[in-house]
Amino acid sequence: MKTLVLLCTYNESENIERLCKSILSQNLNLDILVIDDGSPDGTGEIADQLAAASQHIRVLHRPRKSGLGRAISAGFEYAIANDYDACVNMDADMSHDPTELGAMIEHLKISDVVIGSRHIKGGKIIGWPLARQLNHKISNALARYMLGIKSNDVTNSFKAYRIEVLKKVPFQKILDCGFVGHTLLVSAFERLKCSVIEVPSCFIDRHAGKSKMSWDERVGGLKAMLEFRKNFQKQE
Ligand SMILES: Nc1nc2c(ncn2[C@@H]2O[C@H](COP(=O)(O)OP(=O)(O)O)[C@@H](O)[C@H]2O)c(=O)[nH]1
Ligand SMILES: [Mg+2]
């Protein structure tokens, strides 16, 4: 399967090089697309240098910070336009482990979507303070309940998709709402009866750089879930 790994970045200058090298060292014969939203810390320039040194790395520069959902959407569009068979989204802060990529991609042979799951046997979260753990538990449970999602981990953005299945959903519209977009996508896939499976994943909180998840994004996420539920219910 011709596979593209999407790395959305905003101010990840301390992480991007180490992450790209670690991904390529897995020898999975895949390409990486860095989608940088004009990071003021120079992440985009570092990515350009990495791309100049490796034929497996490409960079998409977008002028300003427009949210994780839209960045992922741009990555999907690139993957479709460039005839990839599969793409995997990973956070660019070293929270998602590149050694798990092989299993994620392998499972795409038997499923349309593969979620790197922290909430099945073998998965875990390391390093989050209590407040973040609590916040996560509430958001994950709320999203599963509100959207009727069966998968256990709906908020992890570490996911692999078959390109064919992406073409079945209006991903641009769904991802337009920001961070929560990739969670809404899982709901859309489950409703379309696409196969979605979870493989265990170990999430390690970032050591370098800062989280971009703001309270505005969280409130926006809640609104987006309500809107999505309303729209989908209308269609059913
Ligand atoms: N291109 C782009 N990437 C973003 C944006 N917001 C967040 N990211 C990236 O999305 C990934 C997840 O964000 P992060 O801040 O680590 O979220 P957290 O893990 O929920 O705290 C990281 O690689 C960020 O650099 C954005 O507006 N544009
Ligand atoms: Mg993070």
> Which ligand places an atom closest to the C-alpha of 90?
1
Show the tokens assigned to 126.
């390391």
Total tally of structural domains belonging to the chain: 1
Nearest-atom number in ligand 1 for the CA of 15 is 23
The Cα–Cα gap between 163 and 208 comes to: 32
Highest mean pLDDT among 24-33, 173-182, 227-236: 24-33
Is residue 114 a contact partner of residue 104, using CB atoms and an 8 Å limit?
A: yes
Is residue 125 a contact partner of residue 230, using CB atoms and an 8 Å limit?
A: no
Q: Look at residue 165 and tell me whether its pLDDT is greater than 90.
A: yes
> Band of the pLDDT at 161, cuts 50, 70, 90?
very high
> Band of the pLDDT at 105, cuts 50, 70, 90?
very high
Which residue in this structure is represented by tokens 């908020």? 155
Residue 93, domain extent:
3-235
Pocket of ligand 1 (CB under 6 A): 8-10, 12, 35-37, 65-68, 71, 91-93, 95, 206, 211-213
Query: Can you say whether residue 157 is alpha, beta or left, with left for phi > 0 and alpha for psi between -120 and 50 degrees?
Result: alpha
CATH number at residue 122: 3.90.550.10
> Which ligand places an atom closest to the C-alpha of 11?
1
Nearest CA residue ID for atom 24, ligand 1: 9
Show the tokens assigned to 183.
């969670």
Q: Look at residue 37 and tell me whether its pLDDT is greater than 80.
A: yes
> Which ligand places an atom closest to the C-alpha of 19?
1
CA 131 to ligand 2 centroid distance, Å: 15
